[in-house]
Amino acid sequence: MFDFVRQHNKIMQILLVLLIFPSFVLFGIDGYNRFREKGEAVASVDGQDISQAEWDNALRAETQRMRESMPNTDPKFLDSPQVKYEILERIVRDRLLSVAATKLFLNVSDQRLAQELQKNPTIASLRKPDGSLDLVQYRQLLSSQGLTPESFESRMRSDLSVQQVIMGIAKGSFVPSKLKDVTSNAYNEQREIQVQFFKGEDYASKLKYPDEELQAYYKSHESQFQSLESADLEYVLLDMPTVEKSIVVNESELKTYFEQNSSKLVGQEERRASHILISASKDATTEAKAKAKAKAQELLSEIKKSPQSFADIAKKNSQDPVSAAKGGDLDFFAKGAMVKPFEEAAFSMQKGQVSDLVESEFGYHIIKLTDIKMPKVPTFEELRPTLEAQVKKQMAQKKFAEEAELFTNLVYEQSDSLKPVAEKLKLEIRTLNSVSRSASPAQLGPLKNPKILNAIFSQDSIDKKHNTEAIELSPNLLASARITKYSAARTLSFDEVKDRVKAAYEKEQSLLMAKKSGLQVQTNSKDHPEGTKLGSALTVSRQDLQKLPQIVVETALRAPTQALPAWTGVDLGGDGYAVVKVIKVIPEKSVASGLDLKASKDRTEPVAQALSAAENLSYYNFLKSNYKAKINVASPASSLVGN
């Protein structure tokens, strides 16, 4: 188990992030459940399919989020197969944990939900001086994210349920001291070794072979010498910038827009006021309210006798602790910022005026209006550039929707050519040559989308040279393509690939000679160690590879050491072979004997964490098996978390 944890340390790190920590952005992530749409199933959990459309929507949402939070992110990274696959894994993870939470009846009480909401710093910032939540700002904040308090709290409850699935294992993980000692020794042990490398290129010059061997190699490896299936394409794009260029806004439209939206284009009126608050909550008794009102009335009488004393009276008597220290000053505010009774009173007063008592849910207010800030009303000419941009954008959005429908219909109805749609919508017909099914994003340019590649290389497109359907490459970007020339995959002739055959054959034979020599030296060294030419002695460990390949160090650390020196070897694949001599074993206790308590703990703590992470991984794999989580898409070679 320890070897698995150590060899897959990147997997463990990713799993800790994916499984233990909640995937909140501001408040939490829904798990993409709202994206259920019909389409090809790319994965499934507990019998429920995850469609290609759901994956595409999640990709768009994540790409947009990453671009906003990290604007310098390389677009190629966001479009890489590894990132796309990891987002699909995250969708499966979220769905799996949600299913597990439901099946295991892991509910969240109202009290627990309230506690979590109180911990949220964003929500905490919306609290008023009296500790109550500003419901107006709360709703406005959620509304900006397309949420209501009900939907947000439901989502939060769901996220907390999901956390319980994994946190029970994470927090309850226990590593026995003996197991920790054994694994810690394996993790921290050092060995003194010498290494001899046998590389293929060192034997290439020794090769001698007739042409017949090359011919034989070619025939037995024909699958390696295939030309890729490819096609020459023509395509058209419909995008928002193209549509915007065709928009001309006339003077009358601009003026109409200015007249209809002048109140929105001009800022809001703001007012500055001071107040004195005598608290009386809406749940207070009649007697308490009467007492508060009498106190407020008494203060109002004092102010009417001496209006200039308002600030002093506020400092001494106001029960709003924030504004009282400033003589009751609330600074400037616009409509919508205060509770309704307060706002109505403040916006009906004249500058310098003191109100009568104003009752709100917080108690009784005495308000003094100290200033009025009227927004500057810009002229039509001043706003003209802004108006033109806004109107043009609105008109372009409407026109794009109309042209998108026309684009979709034309490429389908007149499928033998792209000229009709290009002429009708004034689009440029572009070309790409020698495009393969596995074309790179750089080669595809604006067509870097797997959906359009699949459509281009569909049987209908290949056989009949029909237009593909209109495919949305990204928001406000549609494309259609057709094949103008198709070249099927074929086995290249020996003459076409003779140089490639020779290079491949020589590499294979050189590596075989290198490995044979390494094995021979390894065998002979056990009986005649003095004849082996080894490198300088190095002390290696799992934390210090001494610039050696990891597989060499792993082989040295796994070698049986009942008798020293111990000899072993390892196949390095395309890099040849390595012979390793283990001279000395340095146990963890010897390494750690000179360390203080903290340093010693720092050495053993990663072991405990790795064992705990392995336990989490095991539990996650159990959930995948139990609830039949499956990904139907092939994993990229460098994907960190496999299916």
| Tens-place pLDDT, residues 169-190 | 555 555 565 555 656 666 778 9
Host H or E run for residue 41: strand 41-45
Lowest mean pLDDT across 127-131, 248-252, 488-492: 127-131
Looking at residue 20, what DSSP letter applies?
A: I
Q: Are 380 and 255 in contact (CB under 8 A)?
A: yes
- Higher pLDDT, residue 127 or 461: 461
Please check the confidence at residue 9 and state whether its pLDDT lies above 50: no
Q: 2-177+604-631 has which fold? A: Triger factor/SurA peptide-binding fold (1.10.4030)
Host H or E run for residue 233: strand 230-239
Confidence of residue 107 (pLDDT cuts 50, 70, 90): confident
Could you tell me the two tokens for 532?
Answer: 């082996």
- Higher pLDDT, residue 419 or 30: 419
Rg of the chain in Å (alpha carbons): 36
By CB atoms closer than 10 A (0-12, 13-18, 19+), residue 160 is buried
- State how far the Cα of 605 lies from the Cα of 167, in Å rounded to an integer: 19
Q: Are 236 and 418 in contact (CB under 8 A)?
A: yes
pLDDT (tens digit per residue) in 130-146: 667 778 787 877 776 77
What's the pTM? 0.42
Q: Are 391 and 384 in contact (CB under 8 A)?
A: no
Lowest mean pLDDT across 74-83, 200-209, 273-282: 74-83
Provide mean pLDDT across the span 429-455. 87
In single-letter form, the type of residue at position 618 comes to S
Please check the confidence at residue 6 and state whether its pLDDT lies above 60: no
- State how far the Cα of 251 lies from the Cα of 259, in Å rounded to an integer: 12
Host H or E run for residue 238: strand 230-239
Q: Are 577 and 569 in contact (CB under 8 A)?
A: yes
In this structure, is the dihedral angle defined by the CA atoms of residues 531, 533, 536 and 538, taken in order, positive or negative?
Answer: negative
- State how far the Cα of 548 lies from the Cα of 56, in Å rounded to an integer: 42
- State how far the Cα of 382 lies from the Cα of 486, in Å rounded to an integer: 57
Lowest mean pLDDT across 43-47, 105-109, 217-221, 604-608: 604-608
pLDDT (tens digit per residue) in 338-374: 999 999 999 999 999 999 999 998 999 999 999 998 8
- State how far the Cα of 605 lies from the Cα of 201, in Å rounded to an integer: 43
CA distances from residue 467 to 82, 223, 391, 420, 587 in whole angstroms, order as listed: 30, 32, 34, 11, 69
- State how far the Cα of 598 lies from the Cα of 578, in Å rounded to an integer: 38
Provide mean pLDDT across the span 438-465. 87
Please check the confidence at residue 544 and state whether its pLDDT lies above 80: yes
How many residues in total does the chain contain? Answer: 643
Please check the confidence at residue 322 and state whether its pLDDT lies above 80: yes
Cis peptide before 241 (omega within 30 of 0): no
Confidence of residue 639 (pLDDT cuts 50, 70, 90): very low
Strands 471-474 and 430-436: unpaired
Provide mean pLDDT across the span 222-241. 90
Question: Looking at 458-599, which runs of residues are DSSP E strands?
Answer: 471-474, 477-487, 490-491, 538-540, 566-571, 577-586
Provide mean pLDDT across the span 425-453. 87
**Predicted local distance difference test score (pLDDT) of residue 104:** 79
Q: Are 580 and 198 in contact (CB under 8 A)?
A: no
**Predicted local distance difference test score (pLDDT) of residue 643:** 37
CATH class held by domain 267-373: alpha beta
Mean pLDDT of the chain: 81
Instruction: State percent of the chain over pLDDT 90.
Output: 37
Could you tell me the two tokens for 401?
Answer: 């929707």
Please check the confidence at residue 276 and state whether its pLDDT lies above 60: yes
Provide mean pLDDT across the span 13-25. 36
Could you tell me the two tokens for 461?
Answer: 């497109």
- State how far the Cα of 179 lies from the Cα of 153, in Å rounded to an integer: 43
Residue 639: count of CB within 10 angstroms of its CB = 18
Nearest to 446 by CA among 271, 239, 592, 620: 239
> What is the SS3 assignment for 23?
coil
Dihedral class, residue 619 (left if φ above 0, else alpha if ψ from -120 to 50, else beta): alpha
